[in-house]
Amino acid sequence: MTAVAIPDDVLEALNGVPLVKARFERLPPSHRSEYLKWVLEAKKPETRARRLRGMVERLADELGN
């Protein structure tokens, strides 16, 4: 599977929560790609923003936050 480039808005969201960023970086490449694909496939900016928030929340939940 080819690595997906991380867009600036995703990096900004991850950088805002260092523990979540670390969790994302520990994911297998296939899981990171699936999260990014889900966010990037959004057609509307509002949908993309909602999915990005959802991604960060899911990763935080995995940390027990």
In the predicted model, what is the mean pLDDT of residues 28-34?
94
Does residue 54 lie within any of the structural domains?
A: yes
Confidence of residue 29 (pLDDT cuts 50, 70, 90): very high
- DSSP calls for 7-41: PHHHHHHHHTSHHHHHHHHHS-HHHHHHHHHHHHT
Residue 27 lies in a domain: yes
Model confidence at 2, in pLDDT bands (50, 70, 90)? low
Q: Does position 28 have pLDDT exceeding 70, yes or no?
A: yes
Q: Apex CA 46: angle with CA 44 and CA 52, to 5°?
A: 105
pLDDT, mean over the chain: 91
Determine, yes or no, domain membership for 51: yes
1 domain residue, yes or no: no
| % of the chain residues with pLDDT over 90 | 86
Taking every pair of C-alpha atoms in the chain, what is the biggest distance, in angstroms? 31
Report the C-alpha gap between 26 and 48 in whole angstroms: 23
Overall number of domains in the chain: 1
Residue 3 maps to a domain: no
pLDDT of residue 3: 64
